[in-house]
């Protein structure tokens, strides 16, 4: 029961911050996809930077474990292409569709219903996908530091510097 309350509170805080950052709106999401407004990219990368440092710290302190997903080229490439197509049509991703509804942008509701149907279809297709797409290009659980054979604290600063340079460029271009 406790874990469910944690979920609700965490979601509440995240939804609050998504709304404050103004990243829930269709105009912002399409703005990013049309390369006109990088608000969402700024939000996501800022979140990734803090999360990356924090989670690796927790791991080094032995109080948390990384949750690494498998590098499966087939499902990731095909799934990514489908996700992008659907995202462009809907204008919200799964999490932000819920936040958009909270803001009163109730066109998100159609997307939420569509996503529930899409989830049901995926469950139906799963046995077939497992014997086909999921067998294509499976490299197992990998992280960038492992692949390069270096300590993660070498990769993290490089990533942060890259993100800051990108942010500076966005601000100069007024994106």
Our finding on whether 35 is near other proteins (CB under 8 A) is no
Closer residue to other proteins, CB minimum distance, 63 or 149? 63
Q: How far apart are alpha carbons 131 and 108 in whole angstroms?
A: 34
Our finding on whether 32 is near other proteins (CB under 8 A) is no
Q: How far is the CB of 92 from other proteins (least distance, A)?
A: 8
Segment 112-171, which members bind other proteins (CB under 8 A)?
112-127, 129-130, 133, 167
Q: How far apart are alpha carbons 95 and 11 in whole angstroms?
A: 10
Q: How far apart are alpha carbons 54 and 123 in whole angstroms?
A: 34
Name, in order, each residue with C-beta under 8 angstroms of 22's C-beta and a sequence gap of 6 or more. 28, 39
Phi, psi of 121 (to 5 degrees): -65, -40
Segment 68-107, which members bind other proteins (CB under 8 A)?
69-70, 72, 75-76, 78-95, 97-107
Q: How far apart are alpha carbons 90 and 114 in whole angstroms?
A: 9
Our finding on whether 1 is near other proteins (CB under 8 A) is no
Closer residue to other proteins, CB minimum distance, 33 or 145? 33
Closer residue to other proteins, CB minimum distance, 149 or 172? 172
Q: Provide the 3-class DSSP secondary structure of residue 140.
A: strand
Stretch that binds other proteins, among 39-47, 137-145, 146-154 (CB under 8 A): 39-47
């Amino acid at each position: 029961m406790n874990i469910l309350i944690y979920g609700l509170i965490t979601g509440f805080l995240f939804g609050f911050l998504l709304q404050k950052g103004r990243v829930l709106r269709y105009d912002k999401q399409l703005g990013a996809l049309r390369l006109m407004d990088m608000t969402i990219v700024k939000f996501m990368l800022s979140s990734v930077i803090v999360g990356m440092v924090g989670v690796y710290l927790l791991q080094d302190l032995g109080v948390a474990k990384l949750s690494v997903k498998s590098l499966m080229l087939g499902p990731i490439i095909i799934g990514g292409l489908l996700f992008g197509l659907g995202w462009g049509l809907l204008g919200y991703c799964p999490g932000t569709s819920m936040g958009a509804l909270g803001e009163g942008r109730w066109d998100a509701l159609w997307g939420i219903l569509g996503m529930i149907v899409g989830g049901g279809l995926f469950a139906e297709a799963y046995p077939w996908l497992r014997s086909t797409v999921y067998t294509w290009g499976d490299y197992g659980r990998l992280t960038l530091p492992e692949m390069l054979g270096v300590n993660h604290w070498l990769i993290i600063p490089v990533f942060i510097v890259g993100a800051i340079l990108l942010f500076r460029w966005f601000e100069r271009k007024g994106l």
